[in-house]
Amino acid sequence: MMKPGIRLGLAVCTVVFTASTLPLAAQEAKEPKVRTVAAELDNPCGLAVHPGTRTVFISTHPAIYQLTSNNGLKLHTVVKGFTTDVYGKGPKYNLGPLGLAFLDDETLVVGDGSKPDGEEYVLVFKVSGEPPTKAQKPGDAVQVLGPIKAGKDSANGEGNFYAIAVSEKAIFVTSNGDDTKGWVLKAERNGSKLGELKPGIATKLATEVDAPVGITMSKDGKELIVAQMGEINIPGDSLYTTYDPESGELKAKLKTGLNDIAGIAVSPKTGKIYAVDFSWVDTSKGGLFRLDIEGEEVKTEKILSLDKPSALAFDPEDGSLYISILGTAEEGSDKAPGKVLKVEPGL
DSSP string, 27-42: HHTTPPPEEEEEEEES
Query: Could you tell me how many helices (H) and strands (E) the chain has, helices first?
Result: 2, 28
Neighbours of 317 (CB within 10 A): 12
- 3-class secondary structure, 204: helix
* Per-residue pLDDT at 207: 98
pLDDT at residue 253 in the model: 98
* pLDDT < 50 positions in the chain: 1-9, 14-28
For 138, phi then psi, to 5°, come to -55, -35
3-class state of residue 140 by DSSP: helix
Local structure of residue 176 (DSSP, 8 states): B
**Angstrom distance (rounded) from CA 292 to CA 301:** 8
Q: Which CATH number fits domain 16-42+52-57+65-343: 3.50.50.60, 2.120.10.30, 3.40.50.2300, 2.60.40.1660?
A: 2.120.10.30
Give the SS3 label for residue 79.
strand
Separation of alpha carbons 91 and 225, rounded Å: 29
Please give the Cα distance from 146 to 157 (Å, whole number).
10
| Total-model pTM | 0.91
pLDDT for 87 equals: 83
Nearest to 61 by CA among 83, 38, 77, 78: 83
